[in-house]
Chain A
Amino acid sequence: TQLLEQSPQFLSIQEGENLTVYCNSSSVFSSLQWYRQEPGEGPVLLVTVVTGGEVKKLKRLTFQFGDARKDSSLHITAAQPGDTGLYLCAGERAAGNKLTFGGGTRVLVKP
C-alpha cells in the first residue's frame, strides 16, 4: 500500500475538456509537490504547496492543498495536447527533503 494514492491512474480526454487528478493520504505532510513527467525524461516540478487550504494557479492549472494537509488536487481547465504526460504528487513529511511519491496519473489529451 502506497502512502500517497493517486486517482485516477489513467485519464483520456478530448482537447478543451477539464480534468482533475487527486492525491490522497492518511498521513499529514509538511508540503506537497506536483511534478509532470514526459516520456523518456525525468520529472519536472510544477508547484509546491505548503499551507493547509492553499490554492495555487499556474495558467490553466489549479493546485489545492487540503485543509488537513493530507490530500491535494490538480485541476486542468481546457486541457491541451501539450498537457499530456504523467503527473506525480510527492509529499514531504519532515525536514531533509525526503519525498514520498504517489503512483502517478497518466493523462492523455487527444486533439
Chain B
Amino acid sequence: NAGVTQTPKFRVLKTGQSMTLLCAQDMNHEYMYWYRQDPGMGLRLIHYSVGEGTTAKGEVPDGYNVSRLKKQNFLLGLESAAPSQTSVYFCASSYSGYQETQYFGPGTRLLVL
C-alpha cells in the first residue's frame, strides 16, 4: 500500500495563478482532510470531506476550493494564488470519525511569488 500520496511535491506560482493539488489514498478511508502548516502554527484545517461527494469548510477555507468526486481522491484548488498562501500543504485520511488515526501524506511545498 502506498498510503497517502500527494502531487506535486513542490511548486512555485506567481501571484494570481491557479493550481490544483492532488491527494490520493489507497486505504479505502471515508474521511479526507487538507491542512496547511506554517512555522509555529502547527497544522490548520482548510477543508475536509466525510465521504465521496461531500466537502465542508475547516478553520481557514478562504481562497481554497476542494472536490471529492472519487472516494480515493481529494483535490485542493487555488483559483488565484496569493503570497499569503505560501505554505506546506498536507493531506490526511482516516477510516471514519472520532478518535481515529489520521494518516498524512508527505506534503506539498508551495511558494507564491
Contacts and interface: CB of A to CB of B under 8 A. Distances in A.
Interface in B1-58: 4, 31, 35, 40-45, 48, 50, 58
A101 B35 CA distance: 10
B74 to A, nearest CB: 14
B40 A9 contact: yes
A40 B106 contact: yes
A97 B42 contact: no
A62 to B, nearest CB: 20
Contacts, number: 67
A42 interface: yes
A40 B88 CA distance: 10
Given A97-B31, A97-B102, A43 B43 contact: yes
Nearest to B91: A42
Interface stretch (A52-60, A71-79, A88-96): A88-96
A45 interface: yes
A42 B43 CA distance: 11
A92 B48 CA distance: 15
Nearest to B94: A97
Q: Is the interface of A mostly helix, strand, loop or mixed?
A: loop
Interface in B59-98: 59, 90, 92, 94, 96-98
Given A92-B98, A95-B98, A101 B31 contact: no
A104 B45 contact: no
A48 B101 contact: yes
Contacts of A33: 101
A83 B104 CA distance: 19
21 contacts: A2-B41, A2-B42, A4-B42, A31-B98, A41-B106, A42-B90, A42-B92, A42-B106, A42-B107, A43-B43, A43-B104, A50-B99, A88-B42, A90-B43, A92-B98, A95-B97, A95-B98, A97-B98, A97-B100, A97-B102, A100-B59
Given A88-B42, A88-B43, A95-B97, 9 more contacts: A2-B41, A40-B107, A42-B90, A42-B92, A42-B104, A43-B43, A97-B102, A98-B48, A104-B42
